[in-house]
Amino acid sequence: MRILLAEDDPLLGDGLRAGLRQLGFQVDWVRDGEAAERELRAQPYVVAVLDLGLPRKDGLDVLAAIRLARISTPVLVLTARDAVPDRIRGLNVGADDYVVKPVDLYELAARLRALVRRAHGQSQECLTAQDVVLDPAARSVRQADEPVMLSTREFDLLQAFMLNAGRVLSREQLEQQLYSWGQEVESNAVEVHIHNLRRKLGTALIQTVRGVGYMLLRDSPKS
C-alpha cells in the first residue's frame, strides 16, 4: 500500500518511513505542507499521515484544502498538539484519525490498516475472496486453509486487488500502489506478478479485462 508521510522532523520522519516500509507500506515522505498538499492532489494514496506543525503550510490548512477539493484520501493526523480543542478541530476539518506523539510504530500501522479497510468498505481485518484469505498485519496468505508463499510485490499486488474486488484496475493504477518514489518499474512488472499470482492461486481469481486492465473476482465464476 502506497502512503504519504508528511513530517518535518528529519529523525522522526526517517524512522517512520523505515519502520513503515518494514511493515509492508510503500512510503513517500514530504517535509512541508505545500508539498503534502501537492502530492495529495496529484497521487492516489491509500492513506496519508499528516503532521500539523509543518513549515510553509500548516497541516490543518492542508487538510482543509484537500477536503474542499473533494479529495477523500483517509488522513491520520500525527501531532504533538494534544489539547482536546486541537483534536476536535482536526476531526471537524476532515481528519479520519488522530494520534498524539510519541506514537508506537505498530499502533500507527494498525490504525493505518484500519483506515484503509474502512475506506474500501471492509469491516474485517482479513481480506477474503473465493477461497483466498489475506492477513495484512501478518502479511500472510492462505488458500483453502493452506499457506501460500508470495513475494513482497506479489503480496502487495494481491492486497491491492482484494481491497478493490470487483473493480477493474489498470496497469498504471496497480503500479502506483506497488512503487514509491525512486523505485524502478520494469515495463512488464505488473504482468509478471499477475502471472505468478495465477500460477500460485489459480487462474479463476484475477481476470483480464481486455484493453482496460485486470479485476479480482470476489466469488468463484459460475461454470
Query: In this predicted model, what pLDDT tens digit does every residue of 20-36 receive, in sequence order?
Result: 999 989 899 999 999 99
Give residue 85's identity as a one-letter amino acid code: P
Confidence of residue 186 (pLDDT cuts 50, 70, 90): low
d(CA 223, CA 202): 15
Q: Residue 185's pLDDT is what?
A: 60
Which residues, other chains included, contact 159 with Cβ-Cβ below 8 Å and sequence gap of 6+?
1, 127, 134, 136
Closest to 160 (Cα-Cα) out of 146, 178, 172, 142: 178
Q: Residue 71's pLDDT is what?
A: 95
Q: Which residue has the higher pLDDT, 169 or 86?
A: 169
Q: How many CB atoms lie within 10 A of CB 172?
A: 10
User: Percent of the chain beyond pLDDT 90?
Assistant: 66
Closest to 28 (Cα-Cα) out of 161, 182, 197, 134: 182
Q: What CATH number was assigned to the domain covering residues 2-119? A: 3.40.50.2300
User: Is residue 182's pLDDT more than 60?
Assistant: no
Question: 137: which 3 cell numbers?
Answer: 498485519
CATH 1.10.10.10 fits 127-216, yes or no: yes
User: Is residue 221's pLDDT more than 80?
Assistant: no
Confidence of residue 209 (pLDDT cuts 50, 70, 90): very high
Q: Residue 183's pLDDT is what?
A: 59
For the segment 79-118, what is each residue's pLDDT rounded down to a tens digit? 886 677 777 887 888 899 988 888 899 999 999 999 998 8
CB 60 within 8 A of CB 32: no
Across 64-90, b (16+ Cβ under 10 Å) vs e yields bbbeeeebebbbbbbbebeeeebbebb
- What is the domain partition of the chain in residue ranges? 2-119, 127-216
State pTM to two decimals. Answer: 0.83
Unique residue bearing C-alpha cell 494520534? 99
Asked whether this chain's domains 2-119 and 127-216 adopt the same fold, the reply is no
Confidence of residue 162 (pLDDT cuts 50, 70, 90): very high
